[in-house]
Amino acid sequence: MTSTAERTDPTATAVGEALALDGPRPVRPSGLTAALSFGWRALLKIKHVPEQLFDVTMFPIMFTLMFTYLFGGALAGSTEAYVQFLIPGILVQTVVMITMYTGLTLNKDIEKGVFDRFRSLPIWRPAPLVGALFGDVVRYTIASVIVMVLGLILGFRPQGGVVGVVASIALLLLFSFSMSWIWTMFAMLMRTEQAVMGVSMFILFPLTFASNIFVDPSTMPGWLRAFVDVNPISTLVTSIRGLMAGSLDFAQLGIVLAWCAGFVLVFSPITMRLYNRK
């Protein structure tokens, strides 16, 4: 029988070696370039499956209308008065709640084996994860714009003007990006996306509902208020209300930025360790 070596065309081998040697090697992409490429991949997935935007279009509208007309008359005497208090809070709740879909999407990709291919590429190791988070920032922005437009239609008038609104959304996007590292960690730990969703909801529901989003904490019992006062969501809502009212409390802003740094510094190394070992 003819061996594999004997069947190999020496001319083809020589041509292949020449092609490999001729010309400069491709420049290795920077970490930012690689992350942005994976972020673009996330956006292309939305383009081909637009149903993924359902949560960032329907949920903001549903939450805003439901809570405005359910609680407005009972808590503030009218929906017009309550909407001034509610919109900054419901903006935070809407965007923070959809951060969990980061973990669901990553878990699904991991189960399909897509990330096994990514790990074999000569790129910055965290690029696939950071890129997925970058793509989700676009989703968070869409949800924020929807809530703000609907709030303006309902009568919300931010005293901080356009600058206050833009700064509020920027702060919310930073917080959501940082918090999303928690869900990426769960995406590595859990075996199914249903498990990721269950754990995420278990954490998010107390954080969002046991906060100052819907009511003033001064009306709460002492034991609950103690939790609300240290809840990072409450601190974020307070800062965003200040920005939109044109009276920012810099101490509160510093606490929010500290939470953002803490989320990234604690959960991103854990996520990367799990990612490298998975």
Tokens 């709740």 belong to residue: 93
Q: What is the pLDDT of residue 62?
A: 87
pLDDT of 234 over the 90 cut: yes
SS (H, E, C) 20-76: HHCCCCCCCCCHHHHHHHHHHHHHHHHHHCHHHHHHHHHHHHHHHHHHHHHHHHHHH
- Please report, for residues 53, 64, 109, the alpha-carbon distance to residue 56 in angstroms, rounded to integers and kept in the order given: 5, 12, 20
pLDDT of 100 over the 50 cut: yes
Question: Which tens digits make up the pLDDT trace of 10-34?
Answer: 554 554 454 444 556 666 667 778 7
Confidence of residue 119 (pLDDT cuts 50, 70, 90): confident
Confidence of residue 178 (pLDDT cuts 50, 70, 90): very high
SS (H, E, C) 81-109: HHHHHHHHHHHHHHHHHHCHHHHHHHHHH
CA 170 from centroid of its chain's CA atoms: 13
| Of 182, 224, 217, the residue nearest 200 (C-alpha) | 182
Write the single-letter amino acid at 276. Answer: N
Mean pLDDT of 205-221: 90
Looking at per-residue confidence, does 189 or 276 come out higher?
189
What is the reported pTM?
0.82
